[in-house]
Amino acid sequence: MNEHLERLEPQPLWRHFRTLCNTPRPSGHEAALVAILEQWADEQGLTHDRDAFGNLRLCKPATPGCEGAPGVILQAHLDMVPQANAGSSHDFTRDPIRTRIGDDGWLRGTDTTLGADNGLGVAAALAILEDDTLTHGPLEALFTLEEETSMGGALNLAEGWLAGQLLLNLDSEDRGEVYIGCAGGADVVVEAQLPTAPVAEEEVVMRLALTGLKGGHSGMDIHKGLGSANRLLVRVLRALEGCEVRLVDYHGGTLRNALPREAFAVLALPVDQREAALARVAALEAELRAELAGVDEGLTLALEPSGQAAEEALTAQASHLLVAALHAAPCGVERMSSEVPGVVETSNNLGVVNLEAGRFYLCALVRSLRDSATADLAERLKALFELIGARVRVENAYPGWTPQPDSELLGRFCRLHRERLGSDPAVKVIHAGLECGILGGKYPHLEMISFGPLIRGAHSPDERVEIASVAEFWDLLRALVGDLAR
């Protein structure tokens, strides 16, 4: 499948990307791809090993005469975000990604995420390793696991394992830019068993659905004013409290690092309040669509008979407290950076919210350029949900990446960018969880930069990559690896 990818240039890179598209690799299911890459390394005569967590390293010795050059680590993560459009039957653990080339020069998946994040970084590293015409110093390719769900690979990376001095992270998504710093983050997980009461005969069970939002990356897209399905549906539930609604269940979002595109709630409400609720929902749909006009215009909001019986719903008090806590929870941009103009400093994404049989679950992702602000916002969420008796834990915390604007590595990249593209790259700090912060904590001596091709819509089925930017990215990467051997 995806034979058309091998007709694109640079051919070696796209050939490897085809392998990644044809090999299912959502977080936690990277084993099949690791086995393929190990077999490929054996065929290429490259050494390879794994650390205790399963992160994969491929090594290639320096070109003769370049043994004294600093070692270069090409770093990317193997997993991808599994998001599909509503109605898609795609199984991310079994089915290949079906790619398509548009007339506009962009490559997309078909009703699913593409996996360009970070498959193109992996493919580029593999293409560098097999390029026998390139003069280079000692090379290591580090492929980490479970980046999209927990940063698990980086967090559990073996210390004293990597030999290189310079790290090229290939997980950025803007052409003409190079990243030298990133946000840290932490997951806030909330769980509670909430009291329920029987659905009365005089109550009707309805299903409330909010769909049609764009979604996107919970870091890089958090400032764009896109709708959050969990934020908006909770707002609707809050507005419906005058109709005496009680929550039966709730399902919103699928990943803590993706802006939720859809959310659904099943409600019990008095029969005599049904018409008032329908009218309120219709008015709220118009209100929300007006607020999102020009930014996220696909929103639809519908209240319909659920089509299934429900025996229990939250008590009126429990439903009120849960909706109130969710409505009060920080969501979106919390603060802009005063040191890096135009960059978000601190944010929170209400990524996954579930309620079933009284069991409530929330996973939020807090991010900040300041580790102290990450900890503080996580503590605020903890304090809020403890007020309703929930159990809250903060986990998978990872540090930010402190910029080194005067590094020699950055200087070389900028010089090559000017020589080859005729312009200086924009030097950036990103409000997203690149693995560089974690890697730098384990290997403090590393000089690091991050760059990549132009990718848009990451973490959503709208994910796409500009094909021309991939060739530009490859040319810069190849030139930089060669320049670092001098």
- Find the catalytic residue in 30, 117, 146, 147: 147
| Residues in a beta bridge with 197 | 313
Q: What is the DSSP letter of 19?
A: H
From the candidates 30, 51, 79, 466, which is the catalytic residue? 79
Tokens of residue 79, six digits: 């997993």
Residues 20, 9: Cα–Cα separation, whole Å = 17
Specify the amino acid at residue 341.
P
**Is residue 345 annotated as part of the catalytic site, yes or no?**
no
Residue at token pair 């000692």: 138
- What 8-state DSSP symbol labels residue 112? B
Confirm if 326 and 348 have CB atoms less than 8 A apart: no
316-328 and 229-239 helices cross at what angle (nearest 10)?
130
Q: Which residues contact 223 (CB under 8 A, 6 or more apart)?
A: 333, 344, 347, 431
Rounded-to-integer distance, Cα 470 and Cα 447, Å: 24
Residue in the block written with tokens 């970070």? 118
The runs of H, that is alpha helices, within 424-466 are 436-442
Q: Give the length of the chain.
A: 486
79 is a catalytic site residue: yes
List, by residue number, the catalytic residues: 79, 147
